[in-house]
Amino acid sequence: MTNEPLNIATRVAYGKKLAGLGETHPEIVVLDADLSCSTKTDLFAKKFPNRFFNVGIAEQDLMGTAAGLAQCGFTVFASTFTIFATGRAWEIVRQSIAYPGFNVKICSTHSGITVGEDGASHQSLEDIALMRVIPGMKVLVPADAHQTMGMMEFMVKDKGPTFMRLGRAEVKDVFDSDYRFTLGKGEVLKQGREICIFATGYVVRAALDAAQLLASKGVQPTVVNMGSIKPIDEALIVQMASQHRLLFSVEEHSVIGGLGSAIAEVLTAKAPQRLIRLGMQDEFGQSGTGAELLKHYRLDAQGIADSISGCI
Amino acid sequence: MQTQSIQELTNIARHLRINIIKMVHNAGCGHFGGAFSSADMLTGLFFYKLNYRPDDPFWEDRDRFVLSSGHMSAGLYAALAKLGVFNEKELMGFRKFGTPLQGHPKFNLKYGIEMSTGSLGQGLSIGNGMALAARLKNKNYRVYSLETDGGSESGMVWEGIMTAAHYKLDNRCVLFDLNNVQIDGYMSDVMNIHPVADKFRAFNWHAIEIDGNDMQQICAALDEAAATKGRPTAIIGKTIMGKGVSIFENKPKYHGVAPTDEEFKTAMQELGVQS
Q: Do B159 and A61 touch (CB under 8 A)?
A: yes
Do residue A160 and residue A98 come from a single domain? Answer: yes
Whether residues A16 and A133 share a domain: the answer is yes
Task: Tell whether A280 is covered by a domain.
Answer: yes
Chain B residues lying within 8 Å of A58, measured CB to CB: 156, 159, 162-163
Residue A179, domain member (yes or no)? no
Regarding whether A159 and A14 lie in a shared domain, the answer is: yes
Q: Which residues contact A147 (CB under 8 A, 6 or more apart)?
A: A10, A174, A175, A179, A181, A225, A227
pLDDT-derived band at A2 (thresholds 50, 70, 90) equals low
How far apart CA A267 and CA A28 sit, in angstroms, is 38
d(CA B129, CA B234) in angstroms, rounded, equals 17
Contact: B134, A92; criterion CB under 8 Å:
no
- Domain assignment present for residue A51? The answer is yes
| pLDDT beneath 70: ranges in chain B | 1-3, 275
Contacts of A283 (CB under 8 A, 6+ apart): none
Domain shared by A92 and A206, yes or no: no
User: CB distance from A71 to chain B under 8 Å?
Assistant: yes
Q: What residue numbers bound the domain in which A44 lies?
A: 10-165
Question: Where a domain ends, among A130, A165, A200?
Answer: A165
Same domain, A132 and A245: no
Mean pLDDT of chain A: 97
**Domains of chain B and any CATH numbers:** 6-270 (3.40.50.970)
List, for residues A165-180, the tens digit of each pLDDT value: 999 999 999 999 999 9
Catalytic residue among A59, A234, A251, A252: A59
Check CB contact under 8 Å for B127 and A68.
Answer: yes
Which of A165, A198, A217 represents a domain boundary (last residue)? Answer: A165
Structure confidence at residue A1 (pLDDT):
46
pLDDT at B275: 67
Q: Are residues A17 and A160 in the same domain?
A: yes
Residue A182: how many other CB atoms lie within 10 Å = 12
Examine the domain organization and report whether A81 and A199 are in the same domain.
no
* Per-residue pLDDT tens digits for A43-96: 999 999 999 999 999 999 999 999 999 999 999 999 999 999 999 999 999 999
Residue A74: its chain B contacts at CB < 8 A?
133, 136
CATH of residue A102: 3.40.50.970
Beta bridge partners of A99: none
B32 vs A225: CA distance, rounded Å: 53
- In this complex, is the C-beta atom of A58 within 8 Å of any C-beta atom belonging to chain B? yes
Task: Give the residue-averaged pLDDT of A270-280.
Answer: 98
Q: A259-270 and A234-243 helices cross at what angle (nearest 10)?
A: 70
Tell me, yes or no, whether A24 and A105 share the same domain: yes
Residue A7 sits at φ, ψ, to 5 deg, of 50, 45
Alpha-carbon Rg for chain B in angstroms: 17
Which pLDDT does position A96 carry in this prediction?
Answer: 98
Q: Which residues of A are less than 8 Å from B143 in CB distance? A: 68
pLDDT tens digits along B54-87: 999 999 999 999 999 999 999 999 999 999 999 9
CATH of the domain at A195: 3.40.50.920
- Whether A158 is in a domain gets the answer yes
Beta-strand runs (E) in chain B: 64-67, 143-148, 172-178, 181-182, 185-186, 206-211, 233-238
**Contact at CB, B156 and A50, closer than 8 angstroms:** no
**Whole-angstrom Cα distance, residue A227 to residue A241?**
18
Known active-site residue A126: no
Nearest to B116 among A55, A60, A100 (CB): A100
| Residue of chain A with shortest Cα separation from B63 | A72
- The answer to whether A69 contacts chain B (CB < 8 Å) is yes
Percentage with pLDDT > 90 across chain A: 98
Specify the 3-state DSSP secondary structure of A72: coil
What amino acid occupies position A38?
Answer: S
Q: Is residue A55 part of a domain?
A: yes
**ipTM of this complex prediction, to 2 decimal places:** 0.95
Give per-residue pLDDT as tens, A118-175: 999 999 999 999 999 999 999 999 999 999 999 999 999 999 999 999 999 999 999 9
Is A104's Cβ below 8 Å from some Cβ in B? no
Q: How far is B217 from chain A (nearest CA, A)?
A: 29
Asked if residue A150 and residue A14 are part of one domain, the reply reads yes
**Residue A55: closest C-alpha in chain B:** B163
Q: How many domains does chain A have?
A: 2
Shared domain check, A48 and A135: yes
Identify whether A270 is part of a domain. Answer: yes
Alpha-carbon distance values, A113 to A88, A110, A117, A171, B54 (Å): 18, 8, 9, 14, 53
Give the integer Cα–Cα distance in Å for A220 and A214: 7
- Judged by DSSP in three states, B211 sits in strand
CA-to-CA distance for A74 and A130, rounded, in angstroms? 25
Across A205-216, average pLDDT: 97
**Does the residue A172 lie in any domain?**
no
Q: Do A72 and B133 touch (CB under 8 A)?
A: yes
Q: Do A149 and A233 belong together in one domain?
A: no
Residues of B in contact with A67 (CB under 8 A): 115, 122, 125-126, 129
Are B43 and B16 in contact by the 8 Å Cβ rule? The answer is yes
For chain A, say whether B152 makes contact (Cβ under 8 Å): no
Same-domain status, A155 and A201? no
Beta bridge partners of A250: A199, A278
Positive or negative, the Cα torsion across B186, B190, B194, B196? Answer: negative
In a domain, A182, yes or no: no
